[in-house]
Amino acid sequence: RLEQGHPVDDVLPEAFAVKVGGADPVAPTNVVVDSVARTVTLMLADAVTSGQTVKVSYTDPTTGNDTDAIQDAAGNDAFTVENQAVANDTPPVFSAAAVTGNTLVLSWSDALDVAHIPLANAFTVKVNNVAQAAPTAVAVDAAARTVTLTLAMAVTNGQAVSVSYADPTVGNDAAAIQNSLGNDAVSLSNQPVTNHTPPLLSSATVSGDTLVLTYSN
């Protein structure tokens, strides 16, 4: 059990070094000790993003037992830790969505898991605020960091489109949008979709020297 008898800032942030990706190690901005949960929580200067590698080091301030260190309730200092790998549970972040005809593409912040494809009924697409039938197909591209939906009905130029996505469970599971580390993406609600569907030529008429092209929008 960790010691929480002295102020939490007695465990100095400078005792820790957090390395994210290839960046230089950086000390956290604050340290909080929870004796009941047996945890030491570090507040980082910059948020970690999905897929980044993270390592943490901790240096016991002295060779003896002291209050500037992580201690148990008996006052025994925790050992120094060097380059301890940290499990990165940060979910992939949604960045954009665009539709052309019956193809709707959702983009994410990092590489996605192509081995597990989310179910079509996890998505709701609204066109002019009216829900469509579930997509007919779902495809994941790890390199492009995209999820592509094939819509039951093609969108036309000028229509307002939104998309929602429901993560199936509160935990990480195979029937969800995931990054390569298996962290589920968070649910989306009525996310606006950029409509790139071009106007369609609907008719052409000519009278003498005048030819008129009429488009759908």
Q: Kindly list the distances between the CA atom of residue 103 and the CA atoms of 18, 80, 126, 138, 188, in Å, as whole numbers in the listed order.
A: 42, 53, 14, 10, 18
How high is the pLDDT of residue 109?
Answer: 86
How high is the pLDDT of residue 5?
Answer: 43
Strands 161-165 and 188-195: antiparallel
Amino acid at 18: V
* In contact, 202 and 215? CB cutoff 8 Å: yes
For the chain of 217 residues, list the mean pLDDT of each consecutive stretch of 10.
Answer: 49 91 91 89 90 91 81 88 93 94 94 90 97 96 95 95 94 86 92 94 93 88
How high is the pLDDT of residue 108?
Answer: 92
C-alpha to C-alpha distance for 93 and 98, rounded to whole angstroms: 16
Enumerate helices (H) and strands (E) in the chain, giving the number of each.
Answer: 0, 15
Strands 188-195 and 94-100: parallel
DSSP label at residue 86: E
How high is the pLDDT of residue 174?
Answer: 81
How high is the pLDDT of residue 119?
Answer: 93
Q: In the numeric block, which tokens belong to residue 212?
A: 């008129």
Burial of 67: CB neighbours in 10 Å, binned 0-12, 13-18, 19+: middle
What stretch of H or E contains 106? strand 103-108
